[in-house]
Amino acid sequence: MATVKRIKLGSQGLEVSAQGLGCMGMSAAYGPPKPESDMIALIHHAVNTGVTLLDTSDIYGPHTNEILLGKALKAGGLRQRVELATKFGVSFKDGGFEVREDPAYCSNCLKTSLKIIIQSIIYFLFF
């Protein structure tokens, strides 16, 4: 089995897999959500083959993608083997999207994401 190359991001020494796993399509967009057990198995397979950078957002679902990642990362010490990127600042409003940048909303997004994913750290936070 091929190994996944690792790269350094930024100047702080963080090292991640060169290939990441975008998780949006597991629970939002591209049709109906996929079976949870299949998506957890896919996440486990990705991590076990060297993919350590996982990408999600609070709007995917909303929150169902973060819940899925939280469940998947509980198993077998996977949490310690991944770097997580998430995004926030966009919410649904009147059938469309609304960009939110007020500090209270942003703070609540981060707190909720940390709680849902059962993380003590999120490595990348995008607005």
Give the residue numbers annotated as catalytic, written as ranges: 60
Beta bridge partners of 16: 7
Tokens of 74: 């509980």
Angle, CA of 10, 14 and 20, to the nearest 5°: 90
CA nearest to 69, candidates 5, 127, 102, 21: 21
